Amino acid sequence: MSQSYDNDNVFAKILRGEIPAIKLFEDDHTLAIMDIMPRGDGHCLIIPKAPSRNILDIDLEDLQHVVATVQRLGRAVVKAFEADGLTISQFSEPAGGQVIFHTHFHVLPRFEGVELKPHSGDMADQAVLQEQAVKIKAALGGA
């Protein structure tokens, strides 16, 4: 890996409050938000607050905090959407499918017989995302 961290990536801007996001959960080390181009209902993203490009350069302690939040959100989305399962994904570097170069994990509730939508680049209806966020936040209360 020869690339360095870009402080102007979209997640860095969200963390600085320069770009809005639908927040689901936040602690001292992580932020969970709705994915604005979801591949399914309840698709959310977990990002570390500390800068890192991806799993290849993230500090181990930061990664541990992120994974704890991934688990917390995973439990919440399964509960909120009565999902049959869960997909967790993390892409590193262009060859691995990474598009935004700030470490992030995708958390997607899954349902028997239902395929994920293809990544189209189309933004979801914000009202729908807000409704889904309310469900996830309610489930976090007992997650």
Let me know: does 28 contact 49? Beta carbons within 8 Å: yes
Catalytic positions, written as ranges? 104
Residue 86's φ and ψ, nearest 5 degrees, are: -150, 140
47 has which bridge partners?
31
pLDDT value of position 120: 78
Q: What angle do CA 84, 90, 94 make, to 5 degrees?
A: 140
Q: What is the band of 119 on the pLDDT scale with cuts at 50, 70, 90?
A: confident
For the segment 21-62, what is each residue's pLDDT rounded down to a tens digit? 999 999 999 999 999 999 999 999 999 999 999 999 999 999
Note whether 90 and 105 are within 8 A (CB).
yes
Rounded to the nearest 10°, the torsion over CA 82, 85, 89, 95 is -120
